[in-house]
Structure 1
Amino acid sequence: MRRFLNATYKAAGMLSAFLILTICLLISAQIVLNGVGRLMPGLLPSTIPSYADFAGFMLAGATFLAMAYTLRSGGHIRVNLVVQRLSPRAVILTEFLALAVASVFVGYALYFCGALVLESLHYGDVSNGIIPVPLWLPQSAMTFGMGLLLVALLHTLVELVTTGSPVLSTPDEV
């Protein structure tokens, strides 16, 4: 199960990286079109329709899809100034509390993300750009990423309990 979850986190991280690369390519293409439009008007279209909307949707997807991978790979910013002064048993208790509280908050957010997707589907909400995009599509990526973060938090919590040693803190972090 651990291999499957780690592969899922990595796949979501890779998809997030792909979305960021796509944002870069989209914005670069828009910049080139703007330049060509000024140098040789009428040669190419001057804009990519709804490019800012698409870039925003991809940024939201990239952000939420990367969170579980970042948590499991130790990429989140952690300040261990207090934790490094605690006893090993207190560190485990602190991590347990942090993971449990984070799981509750993320579960709460996941519930409302799912409700938002269902509401957008129910009302047929679309973006108000040149190209109307059904809003449930980017909201689904956000909801999936939030769900994956909840799974990663619970996975880390179970790992903490079963190993009995700190999972999140390493001595080189400050």
Structure 2
Amino acid sequence: MRRMLDALYDGAAWLGALFMIGTLVSVLAGVLDRQFAWSLRGTDMYAGYCMAASGFLALAHTLKKGEHIRVTLILNGLRGSARRALEIWALALATALSMLFAWYSVMLSVNSYAYHDISTGNDATPLWIPQITMGVGAVILMIAFIDELVLEIRGRRTQAGSDEALHHE
């Protein structure tokens, strides 16, 4: 199960990276379009869609690598069972919020499909298509928070040290 979850997080991150490349391609296409007057439509909108997709799809992987911003001022002052209780409380709250976020993200895409909602830009893209990546990213983030909560409850959660994040900057 651990390998499957890690593969899910890694796969979503790789897909997010591909969407980041899509952002680059869309921006470059827009620049070339203005330079050579090719009449490409919606390149700025597609760059935005790709950027949002890359961000949402990378959320779970970022959480699992310990790279999300955490306010540890209170947490670092606690030890033992008090620290563990605060970790469990925070992860339970984050899990509940991620469940709501996932639900509403998926429902946004479903409603956009049901009401035939399209982009107001000149690309006229059906909005449920780019919104799918937001819903998928939110669902994977929810799974990652549930994973973290279960690991913390079972006493198997590993987390980055407070100085480890500094090495990545």
Query: Quick check: TM above 0.5?
Result: yes
Q: Tell me if structure 1 keeps the 8 A contact 2:29–2:43.
A: no
Q: Tell me if structure 1 keeps the 8 A contact 2:26–2:44.
A: no
Report whether the alignment pairs 1:28 with 2:20: no
Mapped partners of 2:88, 2:158: distance in 1: 10
Mapped partners of 2:108, 2:22: distance in 1: 26
Percent identity of paired positions between Structure 1 and Structure 2: 32
Which of these residues, 134, 137, 150, is aligned with residue 142 of structure 1?
134
Which of these residues, 145, 153, 170, is aligned with residue 161 of structure 2?
170
Which residue number corresponds to residue 113 of structure 1?
A: 105
Mapped partners of 2:143, 2:152: distance in 1: 14
Computing the radius of gyration over CA atoms, which structure comes out larger, 1 or 2? 1
Which residue number corresponds to residue 12 of structure 1?
A: 12
Q: Residue 29 of structure 1 aligns to which amino acid in structure 2?
A: A
Which residue number corresponds to residue 62 of structure 1?
A: 54
Stretches of 4+ moved more than 3 A in 1? 165-169
Structure 1: stretches of 5+ with no match in the other structure: 38-43
Query: Residues 71-82 of structure 1 correspond to what in structure 2 (within 5 A)?
Result: 71-82=63-74
How many residues were matched structurally? 165
Mapped partners of 2:23, 2:88: distance in 1: 37
TM-score when scaled to structure 2?
A: 0.88
Q: Tell me if structure 2 keeps the 8 A contact 1:121–1:136.
A: yes
Mapped partners of 1:149, 1:119: distance in 2: 21
RMSD: 1.8
65-74 or 90-99: bigger deviation = 90-99
Mapped partners of 2:139, 2:50: distance in 1: 18
Query: Residues 125-136 of structure 1 correspond to what in structure 2 (within 5 A)?
Result: 125-136=117-128
SS in 1 for 2:58: helix
Structure 2: stretches of 5+ with no match in the other structure: none
Which of these residues, 83, 91, 95, is aligned with residue 83 of structure 2?
91
